[in-house]
Chains A and B, each alone.
Chain A
Amino acid sequence: MIRTPLRPLARILEARSRGENPDHIERENLRLRHETTRDKARRRAESRLLVTLLALVCGFAIIGARMALLAATEPAPVTRGAVEVISSERAEIVDRRGRVLATNLTTHALYAETRHMIDPVRAARELGRIFPDLDAARLERQFTDPDRRFVWVRTRLSPEQRQQVHDIGEPGLMFGPRKLRLYPNGTLAAHVLGGASFGEQGVRAAEIIGVAGIEHHYDDRLRDPALLDRPLQLSLDLTLQAVITEVLSSGMRMLNARGATAVLMDPRNGEVLALVSLPDFDPNDRPPPPTEGEPADSPLFNRAVQGYYELGSVMKSFTVAQALEEGMLTPDTMVDTRSPMQVGRFRISDFRNYGPELSATDVIVRSSNVGTARLAQRIGPDGQRAFLDRMGFLEGVPVELVETRRARPLLPANWTELSAMTISYGHGLSTSPLQLAAAYATLVNGGWRITPTLTRQRTLPQRERVISERTSAQMRYMLFQTVQRGTASFARIPGYGVGGKTGSADKPRATGGYYDEKVLATFAAAFPMDNPRFVLVVTLDEPEDTTGSEPRRTAGWTAVPVAGEIVRRIGPLLGVQPRPTAEIEQSLRDALTAAH
């Protein structure tokens, strides 16, 4: 920086020569210098002030804008409750009409914090008195153990028990809130609902996780915080489920059966309206899985979806349907039924001899093994296998139950001509009752393949045609005739036009071969037959009708009357208008001629 001298020599000399005081020049210069400095300082100060002002205004504006924004925004919806680390919430499960099948109830768990305990010995004794199943001595040891600060005593308390524990007056005994999964209908639909239990536990909450059935399958959906308000709606109907359970269990008792199962399905979209498997259990108090004995005898076993059995003659419908579909015959074509039929060293015979030949309709109506075996012979193993695959018999049913994941049908290792013949009348291929219901739905609904589902369907699903409308109309007529004048005449319930096919399969021995006196009786039915709206499959395990002179075990005497009673009871509940049988038969004949 160049400093201007305060006393520039030239001007001083000049001033001196003029006789002026040169100090004036210095002072003048000093003044000028001070003025410049002052101006600079002021400019700097002013710019600083400006910056400060700008900063203040900005801050003010930002705060103001934020407040304005807050004032203008819509109030956010209130989020319920505090966010818990462990969520104990779980959506409800309701039936198709919104009736509660599973809900939550708040109860309390009991725990002890030993450092707050005043008289641990007395507390343990009192707890032992309130809960006889608790080991008081062990509790006392835990309470007095100096290394322990925390003891879980019980996971569930009833309100009365809570009061009793409260009355002990021990400050170290604490209650933690617990959600309890409650199934108000008890054993009803137990196999569908499955059950739930506690997962991760904290003092404030415990996780509820589904352990079986639909609770397990939809576990993520039921615990999704966004969907807690929306219950999971099933396709089941509580009333139908109750009525079918009642009829089936009394039928099972009367016929001394080991177990029974029934499936009611809507053939148009595959909705399962009722699914019963007996014996059942209470999902509120789910029994532990069996550790010994046959797993299929446990009440936890869902016969309808896990029970893959050889179902016998009910499978004949599919053989005949395939023959019709492939144009091999019409309902009136005569089929050779000379019994017994010798295939290699294997002999196929009928329950009784039906003479040399029967019409295709009568093969179904009378349930002729020989007739169907002959048809299977003409169809051939490969064709049969492809057809059964299209009907969905060769793989598991993709229904929303966790139990179905591992259940698969048993297929013959080697699909020979002989296995084709035995499979044609239902031996050598195992099928679950739910799978059978789905296949019968296809048979009678005009040939559309459907996937069984347990959740409410509001739209018709994407469907694939498996058999033609004509074959479906012919099968409907044949199944109707079976009930009108064949093996299933106990299901002739006036007004509802039931049609169906019986099946009585000898149960296979674990050691190979078949039992003589142990039968699995099945009836697969649909109604009203001219426009089927419901498919019903009833299976009884080892039933025995002892009202006659000798025990009768065939489906016609066991499963059919039970199914008939079910139809009689549920028909009025379903909103099906009862109509005269003649009218239904005429409508079936009209459909036959229309389809030709």
Chain B
Amino acid sequence: MRSALFLLSVSVVVVLAFWAYRENHNTRQAMAERNALTREIAALEEAISVQRAEWAYLNRPARLNELVLLNFDRLLLLPMEAAHFGTIDQVAYPLPEPAPVDLDLMGEGIEVFGAYESDADEHREQEP
């Protein structure tokens, strides 16, 4: 009984020691990974900030203005003015919807009334 207990506790300690060692190892690994990622993030952020700076620099109003002038013949861009805006009244109303077409009615024959009452049947229009 005693030796069994002893063996059990020793094996528990061994298992726990192994677990602790593994955790330690994993933690170190994760930290190394984290440091690498941190460095990468820092480098990427650096790159993003350079890109942002460059974007802002390329989009500075003075340069855009020059580009507008240079490309005037193609783009014809002019400063906006009040006259470029219209009121809603200036937009024409759409024409009233035409009455819905009854296709069945259209397809029906039209009786022709006139002098030739007798042969009305022959004057019935044919369905298209």
Contacting B56 at CB < 8 Å: which of A80, A184, A577? A184
Q: Is the CB of B49 within 8 A of A569?
A: no
Nearest CB in chain A to that of B79: its residue? A569
Q: Give the docked Cα–Cα distance between A111 and B83 (Å).
A: 60
Asked if B32 lies at the interface with its beta carbon under 8 angstroms from chain A, I say no
Q: Is the CB of B82 within 8 A of A493?
A: yes
Asked if A290 lies at the interface with its beta carbon under 8 angstroms from chain B, I say no
Q: Is the CB of B80 within 8 A of A100?
A: no
Nearest CB in chain B to that of A496: its residue? B82
Chain B residues near A80 (CB-CB < 8 A): 38, 41-42, 45
Q: Give the docked Cα–Cα distance between A571 and B62 (Å).
A: 20
Contacting B62 at CB < 8 Å: which of A182, A242, A568, A578? A242
Q: Give the docked Cα–Cα distance between A571 and B82 (Å).
A: 7
Chain A residues near B25 (CB-CB < 8 A): none
Count of B interface residues, CB-CB < 8 Å: 29
Q: Is the CB of A105 within 8 A of B50?
A: yes
Asked if B81 lies at the interface with its beta carbon under 8 angstroms from chain A, I say yes
Binary per-residue interface labels of chain B (29-73) against chain A in the complex, 1 for a CB within 8 Å, 0 otherwise: 000001001100110011001101101110111100100000000
Please judge, given known A-B contacts A80-B38, A568-B82, A578-B82, whether A103 and B49 are in contact too, CB under 8 Å.
yes
Chain A residues near B16 (CB-CB < 8 A): 64
Q: Which of B23, B42, B49, B56 is packed against the most chain A CB atoms within 10 Å?
A: B56
Q: Is the CB of A494 within 8 A of B82?
A: yes
Count of A interface residues, CB-CB < 8 Å: 35
Please judge, given known A-B contacts A105-B49, A184-B53, whether A239 and B61 are in contact too, CB under 8 Å.
yes
Chain A residues near B116 (CB-CB < 8 A): none
Nearest CB in chain A to that of B27: its residue? A70
Q: Is the CB of B79 within 8 A of A578?
A: no
Nearest CB in chain B to that of A187: its residue? B62
Q: Is the CB of A103 within 8 A of B53?
A: yes
Main secondary structure of the interface of B (DSSP, over half): helix
Binary per-residue interface labels of chain A (125-159) against chain B in the complex, 1 for a CB within 8 Å, 0 otherwise: 00000000000000000000000000000000000
Asked if B20 lies at the interface with its beta carbon under 8 angstroms from chain A, I say yes
Binary per-residue interface labels of chain A (93-110) against chain B in the complex, 1 for a CB within 8 Å, 0 otherwise: 000000110011110000
Asked if B6 lies at the interface with its beta carbon under 8 angstroms from chain A, I say no
Contacting A182 at CB < 8 Å: which of B38, B42, B53? B53
Asked if A185 lies at the interface with its beta carbon under 8 angstroms from chain B, I say yes
16 new A-B contacts at CB < 8 Å, known A104-B53, A243-B61: A63-B20, A80-B42, A81-B42, A99-B59, A100-B55, A103-B52, A104-B49, A105-B50, A106-B50, A182-B53, A185-B61, A242-B61, A568-B81, A573-B80, A577-B85, A578-B83
B residues adjacent to A (C-beta < 8 A): 16, 20, 23, 34, 37-38, 41-42, 45-46, 49-50, 52-53, 55-57, 59-62, 65, 79-85
Enumerate the 8 nearest inter-chain pairs by beta-carbon distance, A residue then B residue, closest first: A242-B61, A495-B82, A572-B80, A184-B56, A578-B82, A100-B56, A184-B57, A185-B60
